[in-house]
Amino acid sequence: MLITFTTRAFDLLIMLTVSLIGLPLLDGIISRYLGNNLKIYLVQKFGNKSQYWFGGLGVIIHELGHAFFAVIFGHKIGAIKLLNFQNQDGTLGSVSSSYNPSSRYQTIGNFFIGLAPIFSGLFTFWLLVKLLCHPTYTKLPTIPLTNLTMKKFAIIVLQSTFNWLKNIYQAFFKHWKWPTTSANYPSWHD
């Protein structure tokens, strides 16, 4: 009994570590690598100002995320540069804020202010999908956790990916009919 509990607890710890630390870390490493290479490519091919033309809106959304969370956590905002055109230090935008170090709420807020661009980016993406997507978008299936085999999980991932691509397609090409190839995919109910 104790060995089973210990084994299950260890499995849970491994799963949580991989899910909550490993995957975000891997995502960060890949995103940073791709972002740096894209930035170098843009500057080499189109000049230094190309960063503003191709990434300016993203920088603004990123910095507004920092500023919004700084306000939520009671930080005093000193300066906001949504787009920094005189970037001698290489930054495209910045938000400077100060806080009371004896306030636990404001100190914890530093963590969330750092993560804020993730939330502002997701919110912006959600808003764009809400405004641009076809009103009859396909919802992702609800996943019952009983008897979930690897085959059923793979089918759910395949169907979810297909539905996501269909929704994106309909968002930008509403007047075109999506090809009805979903019948070729097996149902996860099988």
- Print pLDDT tens along the chain (190 aa): 667 777 777 777 777 777 667 766 777 788 778 878 888 888 888 887 787 787 788 889 989 999 999 999 999 999 888 888 776 777 788 888 899 999 999 999 998 898 888 888 888 877 877 777 655 555 655 666 566 666 776 777 777 777 777 766 666 666 555 455 544 544 444 4
Q: In sequence order, which residues have a C-beta less than 8 Å from that of residue 157 and are 6 or more positions away?
A: none
Q: Whose structure tokens read 């740096």? A: 36
CA gap 105, 113 in Å, rounded: 12
CA gap 60, 94 in Å, rounded: 9
Q: Copy the structure tokens of residue 151.
A: 């085959």
* pLDDT value of position 70: 93
Q: In sequence order, which residues have a C-beta less than 8 Å from that of residue 132 and are 6 or more positions away?
A: 171, 172
